[in-house]
Chains A and B, each alone.
Chain A
């Protein structure tokens, strides 16, 4: 039998993942509410924390990289995040950079 089907194996991976997630959540909270840094600085810092925490969930809780199709699944998910970044950054840039005023009377 492989080790994954062994009985009574203590879930260290999950507990470590959970504790790191809580720590990242609290540090992000403290950074946003209890510092007087500029909002851009805060946004970049807490976004990095969010990406780390999301990666943790995907790899440690969702077992993204394991199994026969691990490579395919990881590639598919990373492509999904790439599409998400293009949509979000592209939309924000288009809607806020002044293109909206083209063709308008002002």
Chain B
């Protein structure tokens, strides 16, 4: 750790180097921009929600069971990701990798169900071009799903690096940042679940 000048040994590992601490703060700024990005998609969804044209409405297409499975998968993955960071603060690198792999499996399950849902809708004749309502549904959900997919790829690369280099202030801040990203995607999902799915299934 000779290259880290401002080491604070009482802080968790990811905050110990100046660079790690600033990267975490910088990533929160990026998440602020992500909030703005998703807000524009939610705004468009709300504005076009009633424009179903000749196509079906949400209530005709949504399946409560599928939505609950997806929600529970992502919520549990957010929890196991939190446990990975908890293990990181106990300086247990195997615990971090183990919980992160479980997180990724749950995330992959979520993506699997989302793809199944999209393919199912397309088979039923509901596509991006069916109506303004379904255009915004696919764009909002697709943007979120793309984020989750990118997160899976990113965390796999981080875990390879973590296995090679072990826990250092540098790898710890990277893992912590990826956990922020993952939890943030669950925060976005809470609002998709509430505003798109639950409200879509209310009569």
Residues of A within 8 A of B (CB): 1-2, 4-9, 11, 14, 17-18, 21-22, 25, 28-29, 32-33, 39, 42-43, 46-47, 49-50, 53-54, 57-58, 60-64, 67-69, 72-73, 76-77, 79-81, 83-85, 87-88, 90-92, 95-96
User: Given known contacts A76-B32, A87-B39, is B194 in contact with A49 (CB within 8 Å)?
Assistant: yes
Does B150 make an interface contact (CB < 8 A)?
A: no
Cross-chain contact B187 with A57 (CB below 8 angstroms): yes
Question: Smallest Cβ distance from B132 to chain A, in angstroms?
Answer: 11
Specify which chain A residues have a CB less than 8 angstroms from the CB of B35 in the assembled complex: 77, 80-81, 83-84
CB contacts under 8 Å to A, within B132-149, are: none
Cross-chain contact A57 with B24 (CB below 8 angstroms): no
Specify which chain A residues have a CB less than 8 angstroms from the CB of B42 in the assembled complex: 84, 88
Name the segment of B87-95, B105-113, B115-123, B155-163 touching the other chain: B87-95
User: Given known contacts A68-B21, A88-B46, is B194 in contact with A6 (CB within 8 Å)?
Assistant: no
Does B66 make an interface contact (CB < 8 A)?
A: no
Specify which chain B residues have a CB less than 8 angstroms from the CB of A2 in the assembled complex: 10-12
- Cα A32 to Cα B186 in complex, Å, equals 20
Interface 1/0s, chain B 63-79, versus A by CB < 8 A?
01000100110011011
Query: Given B32, B81, B85, which contacts A80 in the complex, CB threshold below 8 Å?
Result: B32
Cross-chain contact B75 with A22 (CB below 8 angstroms): yes
Cross-chain contact A54 with B44 (CB below 8 angstroms): no
**Could you write out 5 A-B pairs with CB less than 8 Å apart?**
A43-B202, A50-B190, A58-B187, A84-B39, A87-B40
Cross-chain contact B75 with A18 (CB below 8 angstroms): yes
Residues of B within 8 A of A (CB): 9-13, 15, 21, 24-25, 28-29, 31-33, 35-36, 38-40, 42-44, 46-48, 64, 68, 71-72, 75-76, 78-79, 81-83, 85-86, 89-92, 179-180, 183-184, 186-187, 190-191, 193-195, 198-199, 201-203
Cross-chain contact B201 with A32 (CB below 8 angstroms): yes
- Cα A87 to Cα B43 in complex, Å, equals 7
Cross-chain contact A4 with B199 (CB below 8 angstroms): no
- Cα A58 to Cα B15 in complex, Å, equals 18
Question: Smallest Cβ distance from B91 to chain A, in angstroms?
Answer: 6
Cross-chain contact A39 with B199 (CB below 8 angstroms): yes
